[in-house]
Amino acid sequence: MPRKTIDHAFTSRSLTAAASDPTFAGALSFMRRRFTKNLKGVDTVVWGIPFDAATSNRPGARFGPQAIRRASAIFDNDPQYPFGHNLFEQMAVIDYGDCLLDYGNHHKTPATIEREAARIIAGGAFLLTLGGDHFITWPLLKAHAAKHGPLALVQFDAHQDTWFDDNRRIDHGSFVARAAREGLIDTNRSIQVGIRTHAPEDCGIRMLYGHELEEMTAEQIAQAILQQVGDAPAYLTFDIDCLDPAFAPGTGTPVAGGPSSAKILSVLHRLKGVDVRGADVVEVAPAYDHADITAIAGATVAMYMLGLRAERLSAGT
C-alpha cells in the first residue's frame, strides 16, 4: 500500500492534504480533517455540540456528532460528488472536536455555546456545527449575528420551532420565535422548507410546506430560497427531520410526508448563490437509526455545506 497512511486526523501535516485511511478504520474526525483547537490559517471549522436536553420527544441527539463523523468516513479521499473535486485542495478545514457542556447545569449551556462559537468565528472562520438538538441553533445565531448582523434564516425542517418561549426555557421548539424577537434573524428574508406541522406563530417567515415540495422540482425549491434570501447574509440550519422518516428514521420527532434525501440534496447543490455565513446539521439521534441511514444523510448534508463553501471561495465571493 504505497503512500497509504492512517489516523490522518492526527498524522496529517497539512490542513489541505487528502487522507488515505481505510474507510473502516482510523480516527473518525469529520471527513478525516485534522483534530485541533488551533485556528491559525483555518478557513472552516467543523464543531460538535452533543446536547439533547431540550428535546420534546425522543432523546439521543447528543450522540449525533459521533454518528455523523463516523458516517463521513465514506467520503474520504474521493472527489466529492457532485462537486467533482477534493473540497479541501484550497479550503483549510479542521475538526475542532466537541463543545464541553455541564450536563448538570443546563441553564449554563446557551452561554457556553455562544462564547465558544464567538471565539471560533472571531477570526473569520466559517463555522459548521454538528448537533445536538435544535435548541443549539439559538446561541449559534447569537454568536453569528453579533459578527454579521441580523441573518436570513434558511431552515430545512418539519417543524416551525416558533412555539411560546418565556426567554428562559431550554426548548428545541422555540428557538426561531426567540431569534425573531431578539432581532437575530431578518424574518423578511428568511424561509422554512419542508414544514409538516402547525404552530401558533409564523413570525412572518415564508414557509414551503411538505406537500408543496412534493409538487415542486428541486430547481423550483432552490429558486424560491434564492429569491427570498436575495443578497442578505444567511444562516443555514438543517434539521434532519426535514427528510421523510424513510430517509431519516434516526431522529427525535419524525414526521411522515417529507421529501427524499435525493431531492433535498439537489436543492442544496443549487444554493451557491446564498451568502451563507454559518451552518448546522441537527437532530440526528442514532439510537433510532437503522444501518446508519440517518447518519449518512446528516454527513452528506454537512459535506454539501462544505461544498457550497468551497465553491464560493473558488469564485472569490
Predicted local confidence at residue 169, as pLDDT = 85
* CATH number assigned to the domain comprising residue 109: 3.40.800.10
Give the number of other CB atoms < 10 A from CB of residue 211.
11
pLDDT value for 308: 96
pLDDT at 144: 98
DSSP per position, 146-179? HHH-SBEEEEE-SS-------SS---TTSHHHHH
The reply to whether 1 falls in a domain is no
* Distance from C-alpha of 5 to C-alpha of 95, rounded to nearest angstrom: 18
Mean pLDDT of 36-40: 95
Flag whether pLDDT at 90 surpasses 90: no
pLDDT value, residue 3: 65
Look at residue 275 and give its three-state secondary structure. strand
Q: Is pLDDT at 1 greater than 50 in this prediction?
A: no
Mean predicted lDDT score pLDDT of the chain:
94
Average pLDDT over residues 137-142: 98
Is residue 3 one of the residues assigned to a domain? no
In a domain, residue 15? The reply is yes
266 in Cβ contact with 307 (< 8 Å): no
Q: What is the pLDDT of residue 271?
A: 98
C-alpha to C-alpha distance for 233 and 229, rounded to whole angstroms: 8
Residue 54 is predicted with a pLDDT of 87
Instruction: Work out the percent of the chain whose per-residue pLDDT is above 90.
Output: 81
Alpha carbon distances (Å) from 159 to 8, 87, 180, 197, 307:
38, 31, 16, 6, 26
Lowest mean pLDDT among 160-174, 185-199, 243-257: 160-174
- Does residue 77 register a pLDDT over 60? yes
What residues pair up with 127 in beta bridges, in sequence order? Answer: 45, 278
- Ranked by mean pLDDT, which of 1-10, 113-122, 307-316 comes out on top? 113-122
In a domain, 250, yes or no: yes
The most confident of the ranges 44-48, 52-56, 104-108 is 44-48
Backbone φ, ψ for residue 209 (5° rounding): -75, 160
pLDDT at 125 over 60: yes
> Using 50, 70 and 90 to split pLDDT, how confident is the model at 22?
confident
Question: What pLDDT is attached to residue 127?
Answer: 98
What's the whole-number mean pLDDT along residues 89-111?
94
Residues annotated in a binding site? 134, 157, 159, 161, 239, 241
Instruction: Report the number of distinct structural domains present in the chain.
Output: 1
Is residue 2 a part of any domain in this protein? Answer: no
What's the distance, Cα to Cα, between the start and end of the chain in Å?
40
Structural domain that includes position 275: 8-314
Rounded mean pLDDT, 246-260: 98
Cite the annotated binding site for Mn(2+) by residue number: 134, 157, 159, 161, 239, 241
> Which phi and psi (to 5°) does residue 267 adopt?
-65, -50
pLDDT, average across residues 123-129: 95
| Mean pLDDT on 15-41 | 91
At 173 the pLDDT is 83
Is the pLDDT reported for residue 278 higher than 80?
yes
